[in-house]
Amino acid sequence: MNKKLTGFFLVFVVTVSAGYCQALIPANDIFNLVKKVSDWQVRLIEENGWKYPTTDWTNGAYFAGEVEWAKMTKNENHLNFLKSVGEKNKWKGGPEKFFADDYCVGQTYAELFMLYKDSVMIKPMIELADSIILKPHTEPLTWNFEGGLHNREWAWCDAMFMGPPTLAYLYKATGQKKYLDIMNKLWWRTSDFLYDSTEHLYYRDSRYFEKREKNGAKVFWSRGNGWVIAAITRILDQMPAQYPDRRRYISIFKAMAKRIAALQQTDGTWHASLLDPISYPVKESSGTAFYTYALAWGINHGYLPYKEYYPVIKKSWEALAACVHEDGKLGFVQVPGASPDHVGYEDSEVYGVGAFLLAGTELYKLTHLKSR
pLDDT of 360 over the 90 cut:
yes
Q: What is the pTM of this model?
A: 0.94
pLDDT score at 2: 52
Q: State the average pLDDT over residues 80-92.
A: 98
Best CA proximity match to 79, nearest among 111, 117, 34, 118? 111
Task: Please report, for the chain, the start and end positions of each structural domain, with discontinuous segments joined by +.
Answer: 25-367
Reported as a single tens digit per residue, the pLDDT across 328-338 is 999 999 999 99
Q: What number of other Cβ atoms are within 10 A of residue 181's Cβ? A: 16
Q: State the average pLDDT over residues 244-261.
A: 98
The fraction of the chain above a pLDDT of 70, given in percent, is 94
Reported as a single tens digit per residue, the pLDDT across 28-68 is 999 999 999 999 999 999 999 999 999 999 999 999 999 99
pLDDT score at 48: 97
pLDDT of 21 over the 90 cut:
no
pLDDT score at 19: 40
pLDDT of 246 over the 80 cut:
yes
d(CA 118, CA 110): 10
pLDDT of 370 over the 90 cut:
no
> Phi and psi of 201, rounded to 5°?
-140, 165
Q: State the average pLDDT over residues 8-25.
A: 49
pLDDT of 353 over the 50 cut:
yes
CATH of segment(s) 25-367: 1.50.10.10
pLDDT of 197 over the 60 cut:
yes
> Residue 159: pLDDT band by 50, 70, 90 thresholds?
very high
> Residue 20: pLDDT band by 50, 70, 90 thresholds?
very low
> Residue 369: pLDDT band by 50, 70, 90 thresholds?
confident
Best CA proximity match to 123, nearest among 192, 54, 170? 170
Active site (catalytic) residues: 158
Q: State the average pLDDT over residues 189-213.
A: 98
Yes or no: say if 179 and 168 are a contact pair by the CB < 8 Å rule: yes
pLDDT of 170 over the 70 cut:
yes
Mean model confidence pLDDT for the chain: 94
Reported as a single tens digit per residue, the pLDDT across 279-319 is 999 999 999 999 999 999 999 999 999 999 999 999 999 99
Residues 6+ apart with CB under 8 A from 251: none
Yes or no: say if 160 and 205 are a contact pair by the CB < 8 Å rule: no
State the angle between helix axes of 246-262 and 285-300 in degrees (0 to 180), rounded to the nearest 10.
Answer: 130
Yes or no: say if 68 and 361 are a contact pair by the CB < 8 Å rule: yes
The fraction of the chain above a pLDDT of 90, given in percent, is 92
pLDDT of 110 over the 90 cut:
yes
pLDDT score at 15: 38
